[in-house]
A and B are shown apart, each in its own frame.
Chain A
Amino acid sequence: TQLLEQSPQFLSIQEGENLTVYCNSSSVFSSLQWYRQEPGEGPVLLVTVVTGGEVKKLKRLTFQFGDARKDSSLHITAAQPGDTGLYLCAGDGQNFVFGPGTRLSVLP
């Protein structure tokens, strides 16, 4: 079974700071997705990366897929309280798996 790890598990920062969260595996994925989940709601898809080395930007969020398609990172510039939530990565490989998530808290 393919597994995804995410780090850090928890992150608490001040508004305006930059941050990076990571999603890692020893397995290769054909694609990788990032989701954000808020309390009491289902995950919402942010982006899908498909090509090794691919970089995608979504406003202040930058997503990168590792060259070997085994890992990914999410960088947030000038974080805002509205970015608070659980960030999940999910990989499409031999099966479809989610990582355990990074819980981000952005304090005003």
Chain B
Amino acid sequence: DTAVSQTPKYLVTQMGNDKSIKCEQNLGHDTMYWYKQDSKKFLKIMFSYNNKELIINETVPNRFSPKSPDKAHLNLHINSLELGDSAVYFCASSPYMYSYNEQFFGPGTRLTVL
């Protein structure tokens, strides 16, 4: 069983489009995260949700809107995609808020904006 899963694995789209990435965890964790890894492999936290509630919102354009329908799911919707949004997006989960030392990452979604 995959602990943290993401769909799709690859996403290629045109500039200006709107797209969503889905994430699900079956670990029973309370906290989920979205990270962005750029072309230089720099991994940066974007959002953190604890029990469906937004806790951390780093400096991210408001074109990015996370949604957590329940604590096992955290989706990322991106409006008006730009070239600079091209990156690999990782979802992660941990048992509790700030329990980074028990974080599990998903396989990533490679987004390419043309």
Contacts and interface: CB of A to CB of B under 8 A. Distances in A.
Contact of A44 (B45, B102, B105): B105
Interface in B50-107: 90, 92, 98, 100-107
Interface in A90-108: 90, 92, 95-98, 100-101, 103
Nearest to B44: A98
A86 B37 CA distance: 13
Interface in B6-62: 40-45
| Size range of the chain A interface in the assembly | 20 to 34
A1 to B, nearest CB: 10
A42 B100 contact: no
Contacts of B104: 45
A8 to B, nearest CB: 14
A101 B92 contact: no
Contacts of B41: 37, 86, 100-101, 103
Interface of A: 31, 33, 37, 40-45, 48, 50, 86, 88, 90, 92, 95-98, 100-101, 103
29 contacts: A31-B100, A31-B101, A40-B108, A41-B108, A42-B90, A42-B92, A42-B105, A42-B106, A42-B107, A43-B43, A43-B105, A45-B101, A45-B104, A48-B101, A50-B101, A88-B43, A90-B100, A92-B98, A92-B100, A95-B45, A96-B45, A96-B100, A97-B44, A97-B45, A98-B42, A98-B44, A100-B40, A100-B42, A103-B41
